[in-house]
A and B are shown apart, each in its own frame.
Chain A
Amino acid sequence: MAAKRFRAVEHRVVAVTGYGVVSALGWGVRPFADGLTASRAVIGPFDRFDPSRQRTRIAAQVPGPTPRLPLSASAARRLSWADRFALAAAAEAVRHADLDLRHAPHAIGVFFASSTGGMLEAESLYDQLRDDPRHARVSPIVSQTPAGPAEAVARHLGLMGPVETISSACASGAMAIGCALEALREGSVDVAIAGGADSLCRVTYAGFNALRAVDPEPCRPFRASRAGLSLGEGAGVLVLERAARAEARGARPHALLLGAGSSCDAYHMTTPEPEGEGAARALVAALQDAGVDAAAVDFLNAHGTGTPHNDEAEARAIHRVFGARAARLPVTSTKAIVGHLLGSAGAVEAVATLLSLASGWLPAMPGSEAADPGLGLDPVIGEPRRLADARIAVSANLGFGGANAALVFGRPGATR
């Protein structure tokens, strides 16, 4: 009985052994980490499509050129931008984990997130069909649904384990990582490639503008003058393994994924429940899953979109969960630097959280305007915050349709 219990505990400890990122800061973790450290916002003019007739004209676009991907040039041309981001981030994460994918590929699963997948390419196809239906070619880009990035990763890395795509709006990335955590704990995979990818596209750009949710200036989460979000694109990927397995193969655990939780507001399609009750339930569920007391959390990478409604509801959720400590808990939002990556936001922000745990520095949101005093939070603004002893961190995401998700990460050896 004791042995069985030990095995159960062993199975619950999951290590992050690698990660990769593509963002407007560049292709890879290094430019991402450097940009976060410098609070270098990369939200500005872009040319992924022509925004001249849109209400706003800035976004955080991934810079060119596309680096060499682990596939032929002709195969690469058939990938959507979201697929390319996914594949580049996954390849980097696998390299970082020093993982030999040829060993038991059937035990490696892909748990991925995307809001729009290859929508940008689908938009072009739509225009071709409307312009000249007889000669429109549907074959050049065949991966146009949100399932595309996960399938591209599994296909081009030769993986044979389960593949699952979550498309629950802006909570998708954190939810996909939560699904990976569960698959590892239940033993249905030995390794999980978990993350998300999305690209800028006209539909989301025009749609968020139609909702008046986009700030014409770079977003300012948790500031009184905040006026909306800034859209971004990219991918974030984690390699997750049960800690015991990682140790056995000599892999370095960069952090532990301690828990995950999710919930739904069931309140409104686009507006978060204003009291933060739903978001708080996701945070509490993640902490309970991790076996971590709220008092042990050292910082929070918040959803922090910069929309008036989101930041207010999220602040209330933070107060519900952290009580009086909410006013002292360091909170940041990397959306102020790389924009809102929608379905992949949770994955990219998970990597940012891991980098902060590893470096002991919490990235600052750019700008000098003080935090909105009405929120009662302690956002990190202007200058990075030193948190040398940080051991436990939470990354949270709130999405359209009231979907909420949170992840709890710990430094290796963090008290559970």
Chain B
Amino acid sequence: MSRAVVVTGLGVVSAHGLGREALAAALAAGSPIATDVDRSAGFHPAGAARTAALVGALDLTAWLPAAAARRMGRPSRFAVAAARMAIVDAGIDLAASPPALTAVAMATTFGAASSTEALLREMREAGPEAASPFQFTECVANAPAAQVALSLGARGANFTLMQGEAGPLLAVARAAREVSAGRAERALAGAVDEVTPLLHAILARFGALARPDRSGAERSRPLAAGRDGYTLGEGASVLVLEPEVVARARGARILARVRGSAGANDPSAPAGGWGSGSVGLAAALRRFLTADGTRIDRIVSGASGARRGDLLEGSVLRRAFEGAPLPPVHTPKGILAEHGGGFLAAAVLAAAGYPIARPLGCDEVDPEIGFLAHAGQLPHPPGRTLVTALASGGPAAWLLLEQP
């Protein structure tokens, strides 16, 4: 069995608020959010990044009763709230619908950082016998996916994917396979991450995060000159995937069709960094696009402001399109930050025709890259959207979304 798969719902928990309209407004405005991270523990080096796109004290009770939230870590709360939001956004009334075998595929880069840290702290301060069963249960990487399944009765395959920046696209591809092959009648695919001061400090020490400029502002500048790292983000995005025939039969609004996916690896990449293997990655992308035989109308790039990562992204895109003019390229991570699912939601919104502004501070071309994120109106509605993600450490993933 091989069925066309469409996205019919999108739930979002992000620094920009709850729901896809809040995210869409942020994407249209192009303004990132930066909140001070607690640096009181002294883990941060001098001159390092101080801010992140933090969810803060959002009220999730409309999506997650307080009693249930008490049994979850923050990533699980984000994921369950986003999943419930996505189901409602898809126009599915779980109480009134016959049960559908539902698969779950969630990506996370760092897992449940706060629960893991809490467990380590307990063990350090009071010995291993003080380790909390709750913290342990929530520190496993698949806790958010499992909590989504528990919350929504999703009894299909339950995947947690960890492949850094490529994870969210791999999760969508994995979920789409479950639906396309008929192993699941519906799937929830998404990405979730949280920011803790310790995680933020470690990434700052790695030099991964954008540092304060002369004005004191920290800006990721995807693909642009002067970029010196990304802004760390947190939150969750969850998509509802269904067979197109089922979605149409129930009159669902279709945000995008998942046309295909591909992956590759750059073995020249060091652990935690990006390599120089643009030739191999571009060849893989070209094979994917050629096999699909489609024109690309819009690219949602995973460029984040990482110095080497964006350089590689630019080179891969130029080579893959073999010198032809690139379609409009969007860099939503310059608005929504890296990690936490915002990028995935932006990709779906882009495929659905929502505008994405050029992020603030991204107006100067890096001569080594040679192009900037698109600014202004799109020349025509997006037919097909290529979504790209080059992960630190080597893996790459691409997703092709289209308007049905």
Contact = CB atoms under 8 A, between A and B. Distances in A.
A155 B271 contact: yes
Contact of A162 (B162, B181, B265): B265
B202 A125 contact: yes
Interface residues of A, number: 80
Given A163-B394, A167-B142, A269-B143, A175 B159 contact: yes
Contact of A264 (B41, B156, B283): B156
B124 interface: yes
Contacts of A401: 140, 142-143, 145-147, 149, 158
Given A54-B129, A143-B271, A151-B393, A160 B155 contact: no
Contacts of B395: 147, 150-151, 154, 162-164
B262 interface: yes
B143 A403 contact: no
A152 B272 CA distance: 11
Contacts of B177: 182
B43 A133 contact: yes
Nearest to A213: B133
B403 interface: no
B271 A142 contact: yes
Contacts of B111: 145-146, 167
B124 A206 contact: no
B154 interface: yes
Interface in A181-196: 182, 188
Contact-size category for B: 35 or more
Given A133-B42, A145-B109, A164-B161, A206 B128 contact: yes
A134 B393 CA distance: 26
A66 interface: no
A369 interface: no
A402 B163 contact: no
A106 B288 CA distance: 12
B238 interface: no
Interface in A91-134: 105-106, 109-110, 114-115, 117, 119, 123, 125-127, 129-130, 133-134
A160 B284 contact: yes
A360 interface: no
Contacts of B116: 119, 203
A115 B284 CA distance: 29
B267 A155 contact: yes
Nearest to A158: B267
A114 B142 CA distance: 11
Contacts, number: 235
B183 interface: yes
Most buried by A among B45, B136, B139, B266: B136
A233 to B, nearest CB: 17
Contact of A207 (B109, B139, B162): B139
A169 interface: yes
Nearest to B153: A266
A127 to B, nearest CB: 7
B146 A400 contact: yes
Interface in B71-119: 104, 109-111, 116-117, 119
B180 to A, nearest CB: 10
A252 interface: no
Nearest to A208: B136
A157 B136 CA distance: 34
B136 A151 contact: no
Interface string A377-415: 000000000000000000000011111000000000000
A166 interface: yes
Nearest to B141: A167
Given A54-B128, A161-B263, A266-B149, A206 B119 contact: yes
Interface string A358-374: 00000000000000000
Contacts of B355: none
A324 interface: no
Contact of B155 (A55, A138, A159, A264): A264
Contact of B263 (A127, A152, A163, A278): A163
Nearest to A138: B205
Interface in B280-294: 280, 283-284
Given A133-B43, A211-B133, A269-B143, A155 B162 contact: no
A161 B280 CA distance: 10
A310 B66 CA distance: 30
B380 to A, nearest CB: 31
A75 to B, nearest CB: 9
Contact of B141 (A115, A202, A211, A270): A115
Contacts of B283: 106
B160 A210 contact: no
Interface of B: 41-43, 45, 104, 109-111, 116-117, 119-120, 123-124, 127-129, 131-133, 135-137, 139-143, 145-147, 149-150, 152-164, 166-167, 170, 174, 177, 181, 183, 198, 201-202, 205-206, 262-267, 269-272, 277, 280, 283-284, 391, 393-395, 397
Given A142-B270, A162-B264, A168-B145, 19 more contacts: A78-B271, A110-B265, A130-B124, A134-B42, A138-B202, A147-B164, A148-B271, A150-B395, A160-B264, A206-B129, A207-B136, A262-B157, A263-B158, A264-B154, A264-B158, A266-B152, A285-B183, A400-B142, A401-B143
The 4 closest A-B pairs by CB, nearest first: A401-B146, A162-B263, A207-B136, A264-B158
11 contacts: A53-B127, A78-B271, A129-B43, A138-B205, A160-B267, A160-B280, A188-B263, A203-B120, A206-B123, A209-B128, A401-B145
